[in-house]
């Protein structure tokens, strides 16, 4: 075994940053299963029905070989209609979809301007891109505009690309989408909106925070299927020419085994649930409101306004200690540390899902207040 690997792991352990795999345990305040669909009866029945009509578990190859299945095609057609875009393309996951988008579409001579808190998968895609990429301050629309304008003044002649999340995964706050759309129009820029944590939760039928932009030739949206939709995979929604370009040039799409047709069938069922069961979103928002009220009344933490509630502790070791204290009380809560979040902002990332009740939330916040008092003593 290389000694440098062992030394690196030892260093992570000393700093309180060593990651280990743990199975699910305790009351769920950490998953992204916002609508409680992952273990729902409805999706289980969708799987049973798909198997009964002969849908295979495995695709057997890439989409461009024998792996393309009627279920993939049906999902993409239904997803395009559901989200309001011209076309859809199904990927095995959000990470591979982001990697494909940003490594394939921006060209040499283009400029990618991205929010500093964008998903890690977007960073990986940009590292493979031939375009220049520049980070700007989180949710600072003016910084996006100034960066593009400066690039133009310095002779930039390519295509600007604005890359954001609509709802940020670690802070739970929203992007200034309206301001960024106006900037994109002034500079003839494309916008890639990662709706991972908004899909299923916000917008008409759960179509996301950028739902009113779908169908615009300058907008590409990414909707992951493994969070509120309760399954796995990701759907890229956008103009047909860009879909065709991804099919022809997107290496993460071309050379990957196609997603399971059975999963594609189940995602179709999840989209139908989003359309026919708005009460799930309504119940979730009531729980979020209750959690915010409890946190304000009993702790020093400031709610985010969404189902993602970051409890920023600061140091790595204190965050791990608080997480372990909550786990010992019967809650599944994990500590989030750098490099996932900025230095000095280690936190507990609480999520509100339909897997909990108001009573669960009340007890949780009471226990957080107790645990904070114990660790401060």
CA–CA distance, 166 with 162 (Å, rounded to integer): 12
| Catalytic-labelled residue, pool 69, 119, 187, 223 | 119
Token representation of residue 178: 């309206």
CA–CA distance, 164 with 25 (Å, rounded to integer): 33
- DSSP helix/strand/coil, 239: coil
Whether 123 sits among the annotated catalytic residues: the reply is: no
**Phi-psi domain of 189 (left: phi exceeds 0; alpha: psi -120 through 50; beta: other):** beta
Whether 119 sits among the annotated catalytic residues: the reply is: yes
Q: Which of 236, 368, 227, 349 is nearest to 300 (CA)?
A: 368
Whether 169 sits among the annotated catalytic residues: the reply is: yes
Whether 343 sits among the annotated catalytic residues: the reply is: no
User: In degrees, to the nearest 5, what angle opens at C-alpha 318 toward C-alphas 317 and 319?
Assistant: 90
Whether 130 sits among the annotated catalytic residues: the reply is: no
| Catalytic-labelled residue, pool 197, 223, 260, 325 | 197
DSSP letters spanning 102-147: HHHSS-TT-EEEEETT--HHHHHHHHH-SSEEEEE-TT-HHHHHHH
| Catalytic-labelled residue, pool 32, 40, 121, 304 | 32
Could you tell me if 265 and 71 are in contact, meaning their C-beta atoms sit under 8 angstroms apart? yes
Could you tell me if 31 and 359 are in contact, meaning their C-beta atoms sit under 8 angstroms apart? no
| Catalytic-labelled residue, pool 129, 169, 260, 306 | 169
Could you tell me if 291 and 365 are in contact, meaning their C-beta atoms sit under 8 angstroms apart? yes
Q: Containing H/E element for 185?
A: helix 177-187
Can you say whether the dihedral through the CA atoms of 54, 84, 279, 167 is positive or negative? positive
Whether 165 sits among the annotated catalytic residues: the reply is: yes
| Catalytic-labelled residue, pool 69, 187, 223, 227 | 227
For residue 105, give every residue at least 6 positions away whose Cβ sits within 8 Å of its Cβ, in sequence order, or none.
161, 190, 220, 242, 245, 246
Could you tell me if 11 and 331 are in contact, meaning their C-beta atoms sit under 8 angstroms apart? no
| Catalytic-labelled residue, pool 71, 76, 194, 332 | 194
| Catalytic-labelled residue, pool 76, 110, 115, 165 | 165
- Cβ atoms within 10 Å of 43's Cβ, excluding its own: 19
Tell me the catalytic residues.
32, 119, 165, 169, 194, 197, 227
């Amino acid at each position: 075994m290389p000694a440098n690997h062992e030394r690196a792991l030892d260093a992570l352990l000393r700093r309180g940053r060593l990651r280990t795999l743990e199975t699910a345990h305790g009351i769920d305040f950490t998953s992204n299963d916002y609508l409680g669909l992952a273990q729902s009866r409805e999706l289980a029945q969708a799987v049973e029905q798909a198997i009964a009509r002969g849908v295979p578990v495995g695709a057997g190859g890439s989409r461009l070989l024998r792996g393309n299945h009627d279920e993939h095609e049906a999902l993409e057609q239904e997803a395009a209609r559901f989200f309001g875009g011209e076309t859809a393309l199904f990927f095995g996951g959000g990470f591979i979809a982001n990697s494909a988008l940003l490594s394939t579409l921006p060209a040499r001579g283009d400029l990618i301007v991205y929010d500093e808190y964008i998903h890690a998968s977007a960073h990986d895609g940009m590292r493979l891109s031939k375009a220049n990429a520049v980070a700007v301050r989180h949710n600072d629309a003016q910084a996006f505009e100034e960066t593009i304008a400066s690039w133009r003044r310095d002779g930039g002649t390519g295509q600007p690309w604005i890359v954001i999340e609509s709802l940020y995964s670690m802070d739970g706050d929203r992007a200034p989408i309206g301001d960024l759309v106006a900037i994109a129009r002034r500079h003839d820029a494309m916008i890639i909106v990662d709706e991972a944590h908004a899909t299923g939760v916000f917008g008409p039928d759960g179509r996301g925070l950028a739902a009113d932009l779908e169908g615009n030739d300058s907008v590409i949206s990414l909707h992951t299927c493994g969070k509120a939709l309760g399954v796995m995979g990701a759907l890229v929604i956008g103009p047909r020419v860009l879909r065709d370009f991804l099919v022809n040039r997107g290496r993460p799409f071309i050379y990957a085994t196609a997603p399971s047709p059975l999963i594609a069938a189940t995602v179709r069922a999840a989209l139908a649930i989003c359309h026919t069961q708005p009460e799930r979103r309504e119940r979730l928002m009531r729980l979020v409101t209750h959690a915010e009220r409890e946190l304000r009344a009993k702790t020093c933490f400031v709610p985010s306004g969404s189902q993602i509630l970051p409890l920023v502790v600061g140091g790595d070791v204190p965050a791990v200690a608080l997480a372990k204290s909550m786990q010992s009380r019967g809650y599944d809560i994990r500590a989030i540390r750098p490099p996932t979040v900025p230095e000095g902002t280690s936190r507990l990332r609480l999520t509100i899902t339909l897997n909990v009740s108001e009573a669960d939330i009340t007890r949780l916040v009471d226990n957080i207040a107790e645990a904070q008092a114990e660790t401060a003593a």
